[in-house]
Amino acid sequence: MKVAVVGATGMVGEVMLKVLAERNFPITELLLVASERSVGKQLNYKGEAHTVIGLQTAVDAQPDIAIFSAGGDTSLDWAPKFAEAGTTVVDNSSAWRMDPTKKLVVPEINASELTAEDKIIANPNCSTIQLVMALNPLHKKYQMKRVVISTYQSVSGTGVKAVKQLENEMAGIQGEMAYPYPINRNALPHCDVFLENGYTKEEMKLAREPQKILDDRKFSISATAVRIPTSGGHSESVNVEFQNDFELSEVRKLLNETSGVTVQDNPDTNTYPMPIYAHDKDDVFVGRIRRDETQRNTLNMWIVSDNLRKGAATNAVQIAEYLVENKLV
Ligand SMILES: NC(=O)c1ccc[n+]([C@@H]2O[C@H](COP(=O)([O-])OP(=O)(O)OC[C@H]3O[C@@H](n4cnc5c(N)ncnc54)[C@H](OP(=O)(O)O)[C@@H]3O)[C@@H](O)[C@H]2O)c1
């Protein structure tokens, strides 16, 4: 496979290269792509130096697959150009996710929807992926009615500039700000931009993307997204009301049996998921599983995952693997 990684110099791009190498993705030629600022820079893949190229050079090389993590505007402008050149694009930005003509894919849930005609495939939002990984088996069994979620999101979810802001603040250095306020020792109820309805774009992604991935609009999701000064992964407090009642033991069993989900849940031993331990792992970790005692058929849980891995790079590479294994590219 001739593979282009667009946004190779970024936070997700760096992890993308790591995941491609770890999973031994069948690459015959690798094209590392970034903005004009980075053209000519050297990046390593499997111990070999590669020179960063620009977008037009990459389109002209007609890769089989291009994995984009370079922001929505770059995807809107360039994904169609790659697609026209015959490349299948897997896109990490929000540009195409809610486009009814594009598939929004978490491979464990809906990769079977993919066909060779899908030339631009959307990777869901990082917070959405870990949420639906845990909700999917429970929804199938008990049918969700309503989900209320509050997130505790890592600065790595914003990109290199935000990680730098946190590092600078921790070291007492005045530097460039990714956020309107300090993030160290703070919590910002503000992820992505505010919309007219008073919610942020991140909150509306969490409300809408799961319905598309699970192909069901009969449940609703209400979200509050908060940025906190962690860098290992995103955490989510999730309250789910189901149509049908459940046994906690069966909920744990269903989650345990789900590929890509690990249950860490034992109050006796202080066992619960935490971002510092989810860092650099592919699984979605679920704990604090308990019945909501104020409402029928309702569950509380705590979901943690590395936003740069299953929330971005790993999910995108799994999509690419599915395309290759099923001869769709
Ligand atoms: N961070 C996460 O947890 C996460 C999770 C899921 C999805 N995403 C999405 O992935 C994308 C990248 O996020 P990130 O956190 O990696 O951001 P980042 O660290 O800021 O990196 C951005 C990357 O995009 C490249 N880029 C920017 N403008 C470009 C242009 N005009 N042409 C070509 N390349 C351009 C940058 O290249 P230069 O170095 O040359 O500027 C860099 O490689 C975003 O769309 C984001 O929404 C991020």
Report DSSP letters for 138-175, one per residue. Answer: HHHHH-EEEEEEEEEE-GGGT-HHHHHHHHHHHHT---
Largest CA distance in the chain: 60
| 92 Cα–ligand 1 center, Å | 9
Q: What is the mean pLDDT of residues 262-284?
A: 98
Distance CA 308, CA 96 (A): 19
Nearest atom in ligand 1 to 75's CA: 45
pLDDT at 259 over 90: yes
Residue 125: is its pLDDT beyond 90? yes
Ligand 1: list residues with CB < 6 Å.
7-13, 34-35, 37-38, 55, 69-72, 74, 92-93, 126, 156-157, 159-160, 307-308, 311-312
Atom index in ligand 1 nearest the CA of residue 14 equals 16
Give me the mean pLDDT over the 65-71 stretch. Answer: 98
Q: Which ranges of the chain would DSSP assign to H, the alpha helix?
A: 11-22, 55-60, 72-84, 107-110, 126-142, 160-171, 201-213, 248-256, 275-278, 314-325
Q: Which of 17, 32, 57, 69 to mutate to test the pocket of ligand 1 (most atoms within 8 A of CB)?
A: 69
Using pLDDT thresholds of 50, 70 and 90, give the confidence band for residue 12: very high
279 is annotated as an active-site residue: no
Q: Residue 126 catalytic?
A: yes
pLDDT value of position 145: 98
The SS3 assignment for 16 reads helix
DSSP 8-state symbol, 188: B
pLDDT at 224 over 90: yes
| pTM of the shown model | 0.97
Is the CB of residue 83 less than 8 Å from the CB of residue 4?
A: no
pLDDT over 90 at 7, yes or no: yes
What is the pLDDT, as a whole number, of residue 121?
98
Q: How far is the CA of 33 from the centre of ligand 1 (A)?
A: 11
pLDDT tens figures, 31-60: 999 999 999 999 999 999 999 999 999 999
Nearest to 66 by CA among 82, 55, 50: 82
Q: How far is CA 273 from CA 208, 225, 265, 301, in A?
A: 25, 18, 8, 10
Q: Whose C-alpha lies nearest to ligand 1, atom 2?
A: 157
Averaged pLDDT, 112-138: 98
Mean pLDDT of the residues in the chain: 98
CB atoms closer than 10 angstroms to residue 309 = 26
CA of 131 relative to ligand 1 center, distance in Å: 22
- Residue-level pLDDT at 231: 87
pLDDT band of 79, cuts 50, 70, 90:
very high
Residue pair 297/243 in contact (Cβ under 8 Å)? The answer is: yes
Ligand 1 atom 30, closest CA: 35
* Average pLDDT of the segment spanning 105-114: 98
CA of 309 to the centre of ligand 1 (A): 14
- The pLDDT of residue 168 is 98
What is the per-residue pLDDT for 240? 98
Q: How far is the CA of 11 from the centre of ligand 1 (A)?
A: 7
Give the model's pLDDT for residue 232: 86
For residue 129, how many other CB atoms are within 10 A of its CB?
28
What was the pLDDT predicted at 155? 98
